[in-house]
Amino acid sequence: FDMFFLAFVERLFRPTFKKDDFVLGKKLGEGAFGVVYRASLTKKPSSKVPYQKEGDLVLKKATEYGAVEIWMNERVRRACANSCADFVHGFLENSSKKGAEYWLIWRYEGEATLYDLMQSKEFPYNVETMIVKEVQDLPRGLERENRIIQTIMRQLLFALDGLHSTGIVHRDIKPQNIIFSEGSRTFKIIDLGAAADLRVGINYIPKEFLLDPRYAAPEQYIMSTQTPSAPSAPVATALSPVLWQMNLPDRFDIYSTGLIFLQMAFSGLRSDSALIQFNRQLKRCDYDLNAWRKSVEPRASSDLRKGFELLDLDGGIGWELLTSMVRYKAGQRISAKGGLANPYFDREGLLVLSLMQ
Ligand code: ADP
Ligand code: MG
């Protein structure tokens, strides 16, 4: 079977929806390219349709970029469903007044994004109670915080590895676009509005203006400017594995994920203004984290010192992982898969093994 046949069959058996099937609830977010609501199904179409409880769904009304977002979500659902929020359906809604509008529907995964959770003074303990059934008997302190952050990082890299293995670069990885799925007790990626699929050349020309400067890697363009723009699909399919190897566009997301790691470790860097200031300092250090550390450590606040201490645990493997993600040159950054194999996660692995025995 080829991919297209499978996609066709999958579509045949999946319920489809139209505008009248939904009733909108609370507004969850509003960006430049769409508005997001909590939503419910108006009627109960058939017993086969899940998501029938009130507020079970999330609905995005998007502008023209919605077409790409639908395409990305359908691809994710077939190739790496666990990486992202469960996508239900997407369609073009031609309302006469506003012109074309794309509607995208997902399962409502839960109320908190990683951003929301990180704003709490309790972070990361507020996450611990969500991820694990029994709270660790370790006393509160660096060791325990480090284990929780490890678990979150492992989940993020796992989700990212799924996307990257599928050929998708997200390009807007940030805590606001990571949702905690209450059903699976894991973090999932949302908001594929700025994503690029390099295998088939969809959204091939990077829309730089879509990138969030707070989390964007220093390279302005994901692919080198010499790469032909928007090649036809068959050509792109044949060429892109090579292009992927040459340009390593996935490492853009790795940089952003590294900044999230940084913000989790350093409570003082969680606010927007602190992150912007950090970005300025890092740029002045030519994006060399070790140089940044040397410049700030002598007069570091207790918040900063605590972050360094956390990353220095177990011989500094956390700091090692962080510096392998946040690097100027994309080619020197670790991949998502490589990150998962990093010693930082070894202890987790040992823990799982000991539980299985
Ligand atoms: P935007 O383009 O506005 O950034 P997002 O797709 O990031 O759109 O969604 C906006 C907000 O809506 C998210 O930050 C999150 O709070 C909420 N949200 C989006 N998708 C889901 C989902 N599947 N489940 C729960 N909340 C969601
Ligand atoms: Mg978003």
Confidence of residue 222 (pLDDT cuts 50, 70, 90): very low
Higher-confidence residue of 229 and 329: namely: 329
| Residue 17 binned pLDDT confidence (cut-offs 50, 70, 90) | confident
Query: Nearest bound ligand to CA 73?
Result: 1
Q: Is 268 in the pocket of ligand 1 (CB under 6 A)?
A: no
> Ligand 2 centre from 357 Cα, in Å?
41
Q: How far apart, in whole angstroms, are the C-alpha atoms of residue 283 and residue 280?
A: 5
Element spanning 101, H or E: strand 99-107
pLDDT for 96 beyond 90:
no
Q: Which tokens in the block code for residue 89?
A: 């359906």
Euclidean distance between CA atoms 325 and 154, whole angstroms: 14
CA 253–ligand 1 middle distance (angstroms) = 18
In a 10 Å sphere around its CB, with 0-12 CB exposed, 13-18 middle and 19+ buried, how is residue 223 labelled?
Answer: buried
Burial class (CB in 10 A: 0-12, 13-18, 19+), 206: buried
CA 39 – ligand 1 centroid, Å: 12
CA-based end-to-end distance of the chain: 40
Ligand 1 in contact with 338 (CB < 6 A)?
no
Within 8 A by CB and 6+ apart from 219, the residues are 252, 330
- Sequential DSSP letters for 295-319: HHGGG--HHHHHHHHHHHHHHHHHH
Give the model's pLDDT for residue 3. 64
Tell me the pLDDT band of 354, cut-offs 50, 70 and 90: very low
Confirm whether 172 is a catalytic residue: yes
Query: Separation of 35 CA from ligand 1 center, angstroms?
Result: 9
**CB under 8 A, 24+ apart: contacts of 111-115:** 111/182, 112/179, 112/180, 113/175, 113/176, 113/177, 113/178, 113/179, 113/180, 113/190, 114/152, 114/175, 114/176, 114/178, 114/179, 114/180, 114/187, 114/260, 115/174, 115/175, 115/176, 115/178
pTM, rounded to two decimals: 0.89
What rounded mean pLDDT belongs to the chain? 86
Residue 203's region, left for phi above 0, alpha for psi from -120 to 50, else beta, is left
pLDDT tens-digit readout, 137-176:
789 999 999 999 999 999 999 999 999 999 999 999 999 9
Percent pLDDT > 70 in the chain is 80
Query: Could you count the other beta carbons within 10 Å of the beta carbon of residue 343?
Result: 13
Please give the number of the atom of ligand 1 that sits closest to the Cα of 109.
Answer: 24
Q: What are the tens digits of pLDDT across the range 61-71?
A: 998 888 889 99
Q: Which ligand neighbours the alpha carbon of 191 most closely?
A: 1
Residue nearest to atom 17 of ligand 1 (CA): 28
What is the pLDDT, as a whole number, of residue 183?
Answer: 94
Catalytic residue among 161, 172, 191, 253: 172
291 vs 283: CA distance, rounded Å: 11
DSSP per-residue string spanning 265-289: H-GGG-SHHHHHHHHHHHHHTTT-H
- Residue of 35, 89, 109, 190 with the most ligand 1 atoms within 8 Å of its CB, for mutation: 190
Pocket probe mutation, ligand 1, options 26, 27, 35, 36, max atoms within 8 Å of Cβ: 36
Residue nearest atom 5 in ligand 1 by C-alpha distance = 191
- What mean pLDDT comes out for the span 322-346? 96
pLDDT on residue 225: 45
Dihedral Cα 181, 186, 192, 197, nearest 10 deg? -150
Cβ of 28 closer than 6 Å to ligand 1, yes or no, is: yes
What pLDDT does 31 receive? 83
pLDDT for 78 equals 93
Average pLDDT over every residue of 325-353: 85
What is the pLDDT, as a whole number, of residue 15? 74
Cα of 255 vs its chain's centroid, Å:
12
Q: How many separate helices (H) and strands (E) can be counted in the chain?
A: 12, 9
Mean predicted confidence (pLDDT) in 337-348: 88
Dump pLDDT digits (tens) for 28-80.
999 878 999 999 998 765 656 777 788 899 999 998 888 889 999 999 999 99
How far away, in angstroms, is 145 Cα from ligand 1 center? 27
Residue with tokens 């899940």: 50
- Mean pLDDT for 84-104 is 87
Say if residue 208's pLDDT is above 70.
no
Beta bridge partners of 38: 58
Which of 70, 86, 191 best tests ligand 1's pocket when mutated (most atoms within 8 Å of CB)? Answer: 191
Average pLDDT over residues 273-298: 97
Closest ligand to residue 113's CA = 1
Instruction: Quote the CA–CA distance of 54 and 38 in Å, as a whole number.
Output: 9
